[in-house]
Every structure is written in C-alpha cells, then in structure tokens.
Chain A
Amino acid sequence: MGALKLLRPWVFPAVLLAALETYTRTVGASSDALAPPSAALQAFWKAAADGSLWQATGFTLGSAALGLLIGAAGGLLLGIAFGLSPRAARMSFLSVELLRPVPSVALIPLAMLVFGFGLALEVSVVAFATFWPMLVLSQAAARQVEPRLLEVAMALGLSPTARVCKIIVPAMVPRLFVALRLGVAIALVVAVTVEIAANPNGMGYAIMIAQQSLEPALMLAWLFWIGVVGVAVNALALWLQTAVARRMGVVV
C-alpha cells in the first residue's frame, strides 16, 4: 500500500507520455510539431551537456530574482507606509486602483523602447508585475500588526525608524514570506513571458527558437524543463515560508 501511494502520482503522467511516444512513433512520425518524449530526453541531455541549458536557466532565474527584489522592496516600503498611516492609504487609493490592473505585459513594448533588449527590459517588467501584489499584501500585513505592540513602542518612546525596524517589520515577517511566495511565482511566469514575447535571452527565448527551427524534441525538452524549474522554485518558496513561520512560532 505504501509503495502504491508513492507510485500513484506518477502513473497518470507515465500513461500520457507513453501515449505520446506511441503516437509520434507511428501515426505522427513525420510531424514537425511533436516529437517522442525519448527524443526530447536526448535533446535535453545534449542541451545540459553543452551548457546552453544552464546558461538560459541562469539568465531567467537571475532576472526574475533581481526584478522581484526591486519590486518587492518598493512594494514593501510603500506597503508599510500605507499600512501604518490610514491617511496615506486613503490618499493613494484611487491611483493604486487605477494603475494596478494594467497588465504587466503591456509594459513590454515600453520597456523595450526605454532599455532595448537585455536584462533591464526583463527586470523592469518583473519589478512592475511583482510590485502591486507585494504592496497590497504588505499593506495588509502592516495593518494587522498587533496594536499592543505599537503601544509598547510608544511607551518605550522609540523613534519612528526604530519602531519600524524593531517592532513592525519583525511582526510582519511571517505574512511577508507568504507574500514573497506569491511574488516568486509571478516573477518566474512574467520573466518567461517577457522572453517569449520579446527578450532574446533565457529559457523563454530558447523554447521559441527551438520551435522556429523546427526542433520539436528540443522544444518539448524546454517545455518540460521550464515546468521542472517552476515546480522547484515554487516548492523552495513554500518551504521557506513554512520554515520562517515555524521559527517565528506561527501555526500555519
């Protein structure tokens, strides 16, 4: 029973892959669109061996991380300000609500115009996309800081900076890591999307090029790899969130 339970998640994908393998080896053998999974695996090893896999993955992850860092830092600072001052939150409400729904991909052409192709293009779009959720979530986190802690800070006569650094931010940490997990997921999706739509770098570009040069095996290999990276990064973010929450003594 235990072995079955461990095996169970793998059965469905295995059946799908076997079906694809049979189809591409028989009916669709001359297809330019699909390739057998075994050929995709070969293409994957080749890309891993010649280093193109790691280089593209590094670019995508690096620019997603840098964009997230900028977006999250901006969102966090403004979010704390809005969370602590209801007046500031009220005043910015309309502007935030009007700017937030702008789809991040709409900024790709603008970023292209300003930065040209390359790292800055991707980082700026990722930063924009992660800024808004981080702003909203950290604002909520700052608002939910236990009021008694703020009273303690007042009673101790802490300066505003000390109040933010010593009381408010530490009290927000568990919630911030929940926000960060969401930010990580968004950053990766947006980074790959920017590469597919415009930026000639990274994993998204690699999969586009594989399609355009009619190498379905390589394309499927990239698709699979992008999926694996996505799952790994999300799992890491989730682990970080629960580990932090446990250390801070929060029951999740």
Chain B
Amino acid sequence: MNAPVSRLRGALESTTVLLALLALWWLASHQQWVSKVFLPTPEATLASLAQGLNLAPSDTPGELGGFTASTVQRMLLGWVLASLAGMALGALVGISAAARAWVLPTLEFIRPLPASAIMPLAISIFGLNPAMVLFVVAFGAMWPVLLATIHGFASVEARLREVAGALQMSRGAFIWKIGLPSAMPDILSGMRLSMTVSLIVAVVGEMIASQSGLGQAILLAARSFRASELFAGIVLLGAIGFLSNALLAVAEKKLLRWQNP
C-alpha cells in the first residue's frame, strides 16, 4: 500500500471516530442518559454558538464574538509581554555564570508556584481591573521563556564563546548575535508552553476579577444553568487553544529550518 492512500485511510478512520463520538454525545443527550442540565444536545450547543457569534438571525445581538476577542487579546498581549520580559531577563541572568549561580535557585523556587496563586497578591496591589489580570497573565507565562532562555544561554557552545572572545564582541553583540540565536530552540518551546499558560491564566483572571471575556461568560452561563451557552464557550476556548498551538508549531518549524538543513 502506498503512502498517500494509507494517509487518506488514516484521515477517514480518524474522522469516523470523531463523528462516532459526536453521535454518542447526540444519543446521550437525546436519550437523557445524562441530565439536560449538564449536557446540552449538540444542536443546542451549535445554535448557541451561532446565536452568540451573530451567525444566525435572532432578536438579541450575540456577545460571544466580543468575549472571544477580549480573551484572545488578553492572552496574546500577556504572552508577548511575557516573552519579551522572559527573554530580556533571561539574557541578563544567563549571560554571566555568576548571576546564574546567585539568582537561579530563587527562580527555580518560584517556578512551581501556580501563576494563579499570585492573583490575590496582584488584586491587593492593583485592584480588580484589566491591568491586574494582564500582569498575572504576563507573570505566569514568563517563567517557561525565562528559564528556557537562561538554559539556552548556559548551553551556548564553548567554541562560539571563544569566537566571540577572539572577535572582541561586546556583551550586547554577544547576546544579539550568538546568545539569542543559539538559545532560540529552547526559547521557542518555552514560548509554546507560555501560550498555554497565558490562555489558562487569562480565563482564571476573567473568572475571578469579572473582566469581560470567555472565562466570565462560561462562569455566568454555569451559574444560571444555561448549559448550551456554557458548552459554546468551552468549544470556543478549545478552538483558541487548538489554533494558537497549531500556529506556533508551524512558526517553530519555519524559524528553526536552519537547524536541520
């Protein structure tokens, strides 16, 4: 059997299983195996999605589009801030072996701390506002990039260091021309992890601080027992996670082409 045919068969089988799962959901909700309060029918979920995204005619304008936009914006902004701060701080700490020895243990201590545990502290410092959520998103998402950058700088090949020494490169030039490029594979995988963290923290932040977005929307939907809207929100969050991950995977492949020519 040749490759394209087997790939096509794989895709077909894969889609069949997905459709079977959807059919199971349809059956479970229509036969009331699970109470309708928890599990809406797929059609109801789809209808809520269409209504919320203004794809279907209805008398009330849907808000899901706006919520999705604000969650995505929060996530992306936090992620960009986290990546920049992580790379900058990581380069500062990573460039000198002394700084690594003095500061790294503290950073390793803070790393396992759940990002959301910072939220109470951030609330009491900044108050309940969008800036607070953004700060926590950026803070939580910074760690994977920061530690990856430090690790990447620590493992710059010794010969490259010698070259930099022989060329009498300045520190700035070393960071820009040798450090960052050679740490790039670590940094990019750190940035991918950070994207996941930023989505999670953004959602938690919206839930706690009542900032408009999908996090708040699904919490309110659950509190008022509107299961189809809750599922519509979960579907959108899943889509955001899926798309951001897929885009980053493609970007990573493109940016790291030089590694395996």
Contact = CB atoms under 8 A, between A and B. Distances in A.
A23 B254 CA distance: 48
Given A211-B124, A219-B120, A230 B114 contact: yes
B77 to A, nearest CB: 17
A223 B117 contact: yes
A112 interface: yes
A198 interface: yes
A193 B201 CA distance: 9
B14 A95 contact: yes
A231 B125 CA distance: 25
A101 B241 contact: yes
A27 interface: no
Nearest to B238: A102
Contacts of A102: 234, 237-238, 241
Given A98-B238, A99-B238, A90 B14 contact: yes
Interface stretch (A4-12, A48-56, A154-162): A4-12
A109 interface: yes
Interface stretch (B53-61, B149-157, B160-168, B202-210): B202-210
A103 B114 contact: no
Contact of B114 (A108, A188, A211): A188
B212 interface: no
Contacts of A105: 200, 203-204, 207, 215
Give the secondary structure class of B's interface: helix
The secondary-structure label for the interface of chain A is helix
B114 A189 contact: yes
Nearest to A94: B14
B123 interface: yes
B225 A113 contact: yes
Contacts of B214: 106
Interface in A80-137: 87, 90-95, 97-99, 101-110, 112-114
A167 interface: no
Contacts of B196: 103
Interface string A1-32: 00000001101110010000000000000001
Contacts of A13: 106, 109
B113 A101 contact: no
20 contacts: A8-B101, A12-B106, A13-B106, A91-B17, A95-B14, A95-B17, A98-B238, A102-B237, A110-B231, A110-B234, A113-B227, A114-B38, A189-B115, A193-B200, A196-B119, A211-B121, A211-B124, A227-B109, A227-B110, A227-B117
Given A33-B125, A196-B117, A211-B121, 16 more contacts: A8-B101, A12-B105, A12-B106, A33-B124, A87-B13, A90-B10, A93-B10, A101-B241, A105-B207, A106-B237, A110-B38, A185-B112, A216-B124, A226-B117, A227-B109, A230-B113
